Structure 1
Amino acid sequence: MEEASRASKFAYTFIVLFILWLVVTSSLDVQEVITGAIIALIVAALTYDVFTKAGLANLHPKRVAYAIAYLPYFLWAMIMANLDVAYRVLHPARPIRPGIVKCRTILDSDTGKLSLANSITLTPGTITLDVDGKDYFIHWIWVPDEVLNAKDDSEHVEKASEAITRPFEKFLRVIFG
């Protein structure tokens, strides 16, 4: 992918920072909006070169649609994982079978890989311990039988990846390329 122009990178950085300001302050008061615009301009001027490589191309409608769809999907996954962990903690027999599994991602971009690692870690019951290229080492509170009983390493990696990383990757692959 070709690197965007300086103006495109600056504009994208400003837009993202300004929207973030509006979300965090949750105010459309004129003073808040002006202050946010000024701060976003200053920060964008200082950081646009390290903030993005693609610039305004990041705002492609398909990417934006997938990002919007990812938020409720991720929240649902997080709620379900919280309920699962609560069940395991509150159950008298404490049904846990922890283990460290290896998953392989299909993502290429560093930002996509970082988002995947954070999505895994923010979902209770899993935590990303290490990332080595396309390989993720994840601590899992309940390693299923099909992963434990895999006949070889490649089957183990594929089954663990199907359960942990693939659900997030279908969105992140489009969002981050």
Structure 2
Amino acid sequence: MNSSNYFSRWFFGFIVLSLLWLAFTFPFSLAELYTGLVVGAFISLFTAKYFEEFGISSFAPSKILGLLIYIPIILWEIIKANIEVAIIVLSPSLPIEPAIITAKTKLKSDIGKMFLANSITLTPGTLTVDIIKDTYFIHCIKIDKTDERYATESIIGKFEKHLRRFVK
């Protein structure tokens, strides 16, 4: 393993973990800062080898901006899906048409596929059941069409174009 590559991944983990520590330890104090830095450095020593897709380049402004743009998009999709599921559940006829559908992604990295799978699962009414290469198997409580092209456009499409801003 290249030592500069390892350092890059270690540094990424160190910064992210330290910031998470500070975010979860409010109100802020100097002791919390020191503890967060030590814990972040220690954990990053042992986990850096697992983060092959991350490094200092992950702090590129375009990637950070892409992530910051993605957060309100996923939150909006979650809110819309919650309303749709509430309407289905509260309807006396319970108009569900459950199905497991397949959809394809153009994302190549494992972390990108993980972000996409979690985004689908976080959205009420859909659940990522399995991923095989670039094919997702998604359980839906109500779907208009079960063909792969429609599923790819309607479920994966709304997330994938935004995910590409910060993952491969």
Q: Percent identity?
A: 38
CA contact (8 A) 1:9 1:56 kept: yes
- Secondary structure (helix, strand or coil) at the match of 2:164 reads helix
Cα deviation, residue 51, structure 1: 2.4
Task: Report what 2:148 is aligned to.
Answer: 157
Cα deviation, residue 57, structure 1: 0.7
Residues 124 and 76 of structure 1: is their aligned pair in 2 closer, same or farther, counting only changes over 3 Å? same
Alignment of 1:23-42 (within 5 A): 23-42=23-42
Moved over 6 A (4+): none
Structure 1 range deviating more: 34-43 or 48-57: 48-57
Alpha-carbon distance in structure 2 between the residues aligned to 1:63 and 1:137:
28
**Amino acid across the alignment from 1:92:** P
Alpha-carbon distance in structure 2 between the residues aligned to 1:70 and 1:38:
30
- Secondary structure (helix, strand or coil) at the match of 1:139 reads strand
Alignment of 1:17-96 (within 5 A): 17-96=17-96
* TM-score, normalising length: structure 2: 0.93
Residues 162 and 53 of structure 1: is their aligned pair in 2 closer, same or farther, counting only changes over 3 Å? closer
**Amino acid across the alignment from 2:126:** T
1:170 aligns with 2:161: yes
Cα deviation per residue 1:72-128 (whole Å; 9 max; x = unaligned)? 111111111111111100111111111111100010000000111111011100001
Alpha-carbon distance in structure 2 between the residues aligned to 1:34 and 1:4:
25
CA contact (8 A) 1:128 1:137 kept: yes
Q: CA RMSD in A?
A: 1.7
CA contact (8 A) 1:109 1:176 kept: yes
Task: Report what 2:131 is aligned to.
Answer: 131
- Secondary structure (helix, strand or coil) at the match of 1:115 reads helix
* TM-score, normalising length: structure 1: 0.88
CA contact (8 A) 1:101 1:137 kept: yes
Count of matched residue pairs: 167
Alpha-carbon distance in structure 2 between the residues aligned to 1:52 and 1:125:
32
Cα deviation, residue 53, structure 1: 3.8
> Where does structure 2 lack aligned partners over 5 or more consecutive residues?
none
Cα deviation per residue 1:131-172 (whole Å; 9 max; x = unaligned)? 11100010111111xx24xxxxxxx21111100001110121
